């Protein structure tokens, strides 16, 4: 009887896993589709617009073994440098990391920048980032750019899948190239969208240490960090192994309780002379979707997002802008130029933030379907 019960439990577990597969794939496809629809609205073929492709170098690779590379676009103003971390989802299990999984980017395509608009529309005279030297750090490791582990996941086929969560190695290779080329820029903008939003604050201390004389502004776009309690991805990726030693608040942290809000607070407190910021749409369906597939309650995202930003707003050197709508990210979209809340155009808020002007916190009024 005990053996029969064990067999039945195993069958039930397999059925639940299959249901989870179907549900996760459906949500993942929806997430990927929405992101592609947003980017497809752009018309900039950035791959033909002065971008230089640079090999990632020894030790770098994408999640499933594809080669890693990054991009550089020379600018007209030698005093200004933008380091941008690309978006691209995440994976944290044998299911989500499968080669067919739609929830993360697995390679750096030769057409990587094809549909980027927004701040990457360098022909737009209204673009406040047009004169910057730009280093684009692509993303293909499923670990929000910060992993440092080769993980073997169990799959549903009783097999294993080796995934190189080498975001840290890839990023440090790109930053090493930056350090050799740019000796002492006056102004550095560290930005990232979605998964790259996490990376932009994670690597801010590293970049600040290397350029102690620069005025540095960080902007995370499209990820406020709402995740289910106890979600173990950071541990799986070994993502906390390379947090800066000099920031005492990041020592002896509990990875199961750690959030991006903790990281923002610790970094902003430690570097009061620099500015840190976030942008999000108020009803970002992609962030809600990822919260759901990682085991959280998507309906709780809006309140948690508001709470996180309110907590960070107590910092003198942190600012936020919450735009109305359901889209995901804003920096690579043409909505960058059209978003306006309470009479404050996002393009102008971004330009002032980047220039060191003290900007206000901006948010749409909550209580509508597009600003919950």
12-31 pLDDT tens trace:
444 344 434 444 444 544 44
Rounded mean pLDDT of the chain?
89
pLDDT at residue 157, rounded to an integer: 80
Q: What is the pTM of this model?
A: 0.89
Position 92 scores a pLDDT of: 96
pLDDT at 156: 80
Q: Please give the structure tokens belonging to residue 132.
A: 């910057």
pLDDT per position as a tens digit, 53-101: 999 999 999 999 999 999 999 999 999 999 999 999 999 999 999 999 9
For a pLDDT cut of 90, what percent of the chain falls above it? 80
Query: Is residue 252 predicted with pLDDT exceeding 90?
Result: no
Q: Delineate the domains of the chain, giving CATH numbers in brackets.
A: 2-363 (3.40.50.1820)
pLDDT number for residue 126? 98
- pLDDT grade, residue 3 (50/70/90)? low
Where would I find the H helices in the chain?
Answer: 2-40, 167-181, 195-202, 204-210, 233-236, 260-270, 285-293, 301-312, 335-338, 346-355
- Report the C-alpha gap between 167 and 242 in whole angstroms: 11
- Averaged pLDDT for residues 241-269: 93
Average pLDDT value for residue range 223-233: 91
Instruction: List, in sequence order, every residue forming a beta bridge with 280; answer none if it has no partner.
Output: 322
The closest of 114, 115, 174, 184 to 139, measured between CA atoms, is 174
- List the beta bridge partners of residue 55: 69
């Amino acid at each position: 009887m005990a053996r029969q019960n064990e067999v039945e439990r195993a069958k039930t577990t397999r059925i639940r896993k299959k249901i989870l597969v179907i549900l996760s794939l459906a949500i993942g496809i929806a997430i990927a589709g929405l992101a592609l629809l947003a980017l497809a609205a752009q018309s900039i073929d950035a791959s033909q617009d002065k971008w230089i492709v640079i090999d990632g170098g020894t030790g770098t690779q994408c999640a499933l073994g594809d080669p890693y590379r990054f991009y550089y676009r020379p600018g007209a103003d030698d005093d200004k440098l933008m380091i941008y971390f690309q978006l691209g989802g995440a994976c944290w299990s044998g299911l989500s990391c499968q080669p067919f999984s739609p929830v993360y980017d697995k390679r750096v395509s030769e057409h990587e920048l094809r549909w980027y608009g927004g701040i990457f529309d360098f022909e737009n005279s209204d673009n406040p980032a047009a004169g910057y030297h730009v280093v684009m750090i692509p993303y293909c490791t499923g670990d929000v750019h910060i992993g440092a582990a080769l993980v073997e996941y169990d799959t549903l086929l009783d097999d294993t899948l080796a995934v190189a969560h080498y975001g840290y190695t890839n990023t440090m290779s790109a930053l090493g190239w930056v350090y050799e080329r740019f000796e002492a820029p006056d102004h550095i903008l560290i930005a990232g969208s979605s998964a790259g939003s996490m990376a932009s604050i994670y690597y801010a201390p590293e970049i600040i240490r290397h350029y102690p004389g620069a005025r540095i502004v960080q902007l995370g776009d499209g990820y406020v960090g709402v995740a289910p309690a106890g979600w173990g991805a950071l541990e799986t990726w070994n993502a906390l192994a390379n947090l800066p030693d000099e920031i005492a608040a990041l020592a002896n942290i509990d990875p199961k309780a750690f959030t991006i809000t903790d990281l923002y607070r610790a970094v902003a407190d430690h570097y009061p002379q620099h500015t840190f910021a976030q942008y999000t749409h108020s009803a970002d369906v992609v962030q809600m979707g990822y919260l759901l597939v990682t085991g959280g309650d998507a309906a709780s995202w809006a309140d948690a997002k508001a709470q996180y930003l309110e907590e960070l707003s107590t910092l003198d050197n942190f600012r936020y802008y919450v735009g109305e709508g359901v889209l995901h990210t804003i920096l690579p979209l043409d909505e960058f130029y059209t978003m306006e809340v309470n009479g404050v155009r996002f393009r102008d808020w971004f330009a002032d933030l980047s220039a060191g002007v003290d900007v206000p916190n901006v948010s749409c009024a909550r209580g509508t379907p597009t600003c919950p």
